[in-house]
Structure formats: structure tokens, C-alpha cells
């Protein structure tokens, strides 16, 4: 898991639990499959952005560009 997927995963779990929704209930309300919700909550790094936004829309949120430090990226080890 990377920082962005960790943030997304935590956000989704916390909001879902705060609203006392199960994963199947959230999947149904968002119009996505249960597997997709599980993948999001487990921090899967390759998810369809349109579906992520479909889920996030329930919480008044959406994905967008995040500024990064390009110098840090050049010196970061994979």
C-alpha cells in the first residue's frame, strides 16, 4: 500500500463505519460490486477512478490531482 491508497482506504472504512454501513450495503448504495469495496478498503493500488468517484460521491468527495514534490521523486528509491 502507498500513502495515497492508505489515505483512501482509511477514509472509506471510517466513513462507512461511522454511518453503520456494511460493505455489502455500501456497495449497493454506490452501485458497485462488493469486491470493489473490499479492494478499496484493502488499499488495492489499481482501481478504476470512475468507480472510486462513484463511491466517494456518497460522502461528498471525489478524487483529484494531488501536488507532489518532483525533486523528492527523483531521489526516491523504488
8 neighbors 43 (Cβ within 8 angstroms): yes
pLDDT value for 78? 56
Could you please state the CATH topology (level 3) that the domain comprising 3-75 is classified under.
Answer: 434 Repressor (Amino-terminal Domain) (1.10.260)
The ranges assigned to domains in the chain are 3-75
Predicted structure pTM score: 0.82
Ramachandran quadrant class, 53 (left: phi over 0; alpha: psi -120 to 50; beta: rest): alpha
Range of lowest pLDDT (9-13, 19-23, 25-29, 62-66) = 62-66
Amino acid at each position: 500500500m502507498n500513502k495515497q491508497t492508505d489515505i483512501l482506504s482509511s477514509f472509506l472504512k471510517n466513513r462507512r463505519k461511522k454511518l453503520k454501513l456494511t460493505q455489502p450495503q455500501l456497495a449497493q448504495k454506490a452501485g458497485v460490486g462488493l469486491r470493489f469495496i473490499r479492494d478499496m478498503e484493502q488499499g488495492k493500488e489499481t482501481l478504476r477512478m470512475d468507480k472510486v468517484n462513484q463511491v466517494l460521491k456518497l460522502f461528498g468527495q471525489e478524487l483529484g490531482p494531488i501536488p507532489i514534490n518532483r525533486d523528492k521523486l527523483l531521489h526516491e528509491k523504488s
